Structure formats: C-alpha cells, structure tokens
Amino acid sequence: MKEIDSEDTFFKEIMSKSRLDIPFPDFDDKVMGLIYKRLLKKISITRDIKLSWIFFILGSTFGIIVSIILPKLQESMTGIPMAKITILFLIIFSFLVMTQLDSFIDFYKRRKKIINETLTQTIK
C-alpha cells in the first residue's frame, strides 16, 4: 500500500513539473485564430483554382469552336477577308491560351514552394 502511495506521489510530482507556462494569456486563442485563418485561405484558394480551371476549359472550348466555324463562313466582315480574320483570331486565341497555361504552371510552382516552406516551419 505504501508503495502505491509513493508511486502516486511520484507521478503527481512528475506531472506537476511537466506543466508548461504560457507567456501570454490569450496564446491559445491567437494560435487557433491563425489556424482558422489559414483554413479559410486554403478553402478560398481551392475554390478559386476550381473556378479558374472551369472558365479556362469553357473559354478554350469556345475558342476551338469559333476557330472551326470561322473558316467555314464565306462572307467578309467589314470588308476584311475571312481568312485574315481567322488568322488574327487564332493568333490571339493561341496567345491567351499560352499565357493562361503559363500562369497556371507558375501558380502551382509557387503553391508547392509555399506548402514546403510551411511544412518546414511547422517541423522546426
């Protein structure tokens, strides 16, 4: 019986020494607030990425359809031959698609870098 009491007091003593004093009284609230803000930011970024991909695909589909239909039209618009309008449209469409793809690739690289930095900061 004495042995159990001495073990209990030993564990109580160890547990009392293991307490961590928090330097600021609202430390927990601040940390939880930061976690919540990061979660909201991650959710909004994910939503924005999904919307950007949806509109990119819709715009690309529309551009492909227009580039198929334009050469089939025989009439000229405002006195400009349809072949020149088609070439101009294809140049603009190709430029926009390439710049958007470049932006997507750049965004994913930055996102990966931010995630890696965040992970290394939380590990430290």
Q: What is the mean pLDDT of each run of 10 residues along the chain (124 residues)?
A: 70 72 71 78 76 88 86 76 84 90 84 71 58
Residue linked to tokens 């330097």: 23
pLDDT at 22: 64
What separation, in Å, do the N-terminal and C-terminal C-alpha atoms of the chain show?
45
**Amino acid, single-letter form, for residue 114:** I
pLDDT at 2: 59
Phi, psi of 102 (to 5 degrees): -60, -40
pTM reported for the whole predicted model? 0.53
pLDDT at 6: 76
DSSP for 36-98, please give it: HHHHHHHHHHHHHHHHHHHHHHHHHHHHHHHHHHGGG--S-BTTB-HHHHHHHHHHHHHHHHH
Phi-psi region of 79 (alpha: psi -120 to 50; beta: other; left: phi over 0): left
pLDDT at 28: 72
